[in-house]
Amino acid sequence: MFVFLLSSAFALDNGLGLTPPMGWMAWEQFKCQTDCTKYPEDCISERLFVDMIDRIAEDGWLEAGYEYVNIDDCWMGKGRDVNGELYPDQARFPHNITWLSRYAHSKGVKLGIYNDFGTLTCGGYTGSEGYLLTDAKTFAKWEVDMLKMDGCYSELLNQRDGYPAMTHFLNKTGRPIMYSCSWPAYDSSMDYSPLPEHCNLWRNYGDITSTWPVVHAVIDKWGNTPEWAQYAGPGHWNDPDQLMIGLKNGQITEIEGETQMAIWSIVAAPLIMS
């Protein structure tokens, strides 16, 4: 009985992800570019995300189902504020994240954000270790719609508690927030059975890049891991990472892009452009 109650208390309860999420994420195209003086149109900033929200809303993507615009790493200021909360870099996000999420919502678009379970993010910004409840409340206060939780600078043993703990804290906020876990990307030998009750989607493998050998390696890994299919379904999806189609300076040919799109569709993957 105790085990049942504990499982029920920590199971994700947001009603989201009944189909694989679709949208756009900054990482593969823009990485951790923070020099807005030299690269005003390509830096991780409010300006970039307003532009992408407009493109999703105005260029037909929203009607096709691409509804999320997701901030990835390197959006933060350094450290935490006097309340122990994360905050965006004020020069690059002068109106703060709540303003940006409300701008997205005014266009019918949903806003996603990034954190990391460890002491630091992969880009060296402030991690969430020891602050999961605080950060869950912060993201809910900012009215975001998706959270990607990475796993750099953290121990695998701690991740086994940390990812489900964030599930619990997101539930407690009362705001439906799509939860993307990087859990199995860091623990390739983990038991997948806990994933569907704790995460809406989960990264299965290392970072993809816009070269065919890397995309092919991801496809090959999936083709040789058929047991992953049993864990996918409404509300919980395997995630082989972003689409590499159409990237500026990308090295994916048209037929290679068509191949990736076909395979991602066959495996019921999230379709997240960059």
Torsion angle, CA of 231/233/239/240, rounded to 10 degrees? 80
Q: What is the DSSP letter of 226?
A: G
Which tokens go with 182? 């990087």
271-273 sheet: strands from edge to edge: 237-239, 201-203, 178-181, 146-150, 110-116, 68-70, 22-25, 271-273
228, 226, 145, 243: which is closest to 185 by C-alpha? 228
CA distance 225 to 212: 20
CA distance 239 to 269: 5
Residue 92 host element (H or E): none
Which tokens go with 20? 């694989």
Residue 81's contacts (CB-CB under 8 Å, 6 or more residues apart) are 87
- Catalytic residue list contains 54: no
- Are 219 and 183 in contact by the 8 Å Cβ rule? The answer is no
Helix or strand or coil: residue 251? strand
Q: Which one of the listed residues 13, 42, 187, 207 is annotated catalytic?
A: 207
Q: Which one of the listed residues 72, 135, 150, 241 is annotated catalytic?
A: 150
Residues forming a β-bridge with 116 = 150
- Catalytic residue list contains 187: no
Angle at 87 between CA 175 and CA 129, to 5 degrees: 75
CA distance 13 to 90: 33
Question: Annotated catalytic sites, by residue?
Answer: 150, 207
